[in-house]
Structure 1
Amino acid sequence: MKPYNNIAELIKNLEAEIRELSADVAMLKQEPHSLNEQIIFKYIDTGSTGKTKDFVRSLGIKAERGSFFSSGDVSKLIKDGADDIAPELLAIARKVVQMKKTGGAKR
């Protein structure tokens, strides 16, 4: 929870969190529109670059450099994004990365 000075500010902060969470839920309910979005959805689902890498390899897809897809490729995609990934979806994936780094949900 964000710091606040009075109840009105707390209410405002909580309402903003509700809007943000509602937008995240709406985004996660959508179907992926590209392969890169499918990869990002898989990462969000598993929270693991290794499991996501295994998923991409199971599809027979190789990295741009022509070799097998790696966990580093998943991390790079999350960090750098791509033109065919919705910015809102990338933001959710980056939140998952932060949650993993800090050991839990961060508000």
Structure 2
Amino acid sequence: MKSYSDIAELIESLESQVRALNDEINTLKQEPKSFNEQVIFKYIDTGSTGKTKDFVRSLEVKSDRGTLYSSGDVSKLIKNGADDISPELLAIARKVVHMKKKQGK
């Protein structure tokens, strides 16, 4: 929790956090609008680049290089983003990456 100087400031901080969480929830409730968003949703769902790679391979989709999709392709997509991925969705995926790094998984 952030430090605060009075109750009004604490309330404003908490309300801001609630708004941010509601925005994330609304983003996650949306349907993917592109294949890349579908990949990002799968990563957020599983928290695993390996499981996401397996999902993409099951769809028989190849990478930009024309080879089988790899975990590295998933990581690269999360890191670099793409024009057809909403910034809000990408931010959530990056949060998942940071959570996993914090947990050491």
Which residue is 1:71 aligned to? 71
2:97 is equivalent to residue 97 of structure 1: yes
Provide TM-score, normalisation by structure 1. 0.92
In structure 2, stretches of 5+ residues that fail to align are none
Runs of 4 or more off by more than 6 Å in structure 1?
Answer: none
Which residue is 2:46 aligned to? 46
Which residue is 2:85 aligned to? 85
Tell me the distance in 2 between the aligned counterparts of 1:71 and 1:5: 46
Deviation at 1:103, TM superposition (A): 1.6
Provide TM-score, normalisation by structure 2. 0.94
The CA RMSD measured in Å over matched residues stands at 1.2
1:73 partner letter: D
Tell me the distance in 2 between the aligned counterparts of 1:101 and 1:10: 29
Which residue is 1:18 aligned to? 18
Percent identity of equivalent pairs: 71
Deviation at 1:9, TM superposition (A): 1.7
Tell me the distance in 2 between the aligned counterparts of 1:40 and 1:72: 13
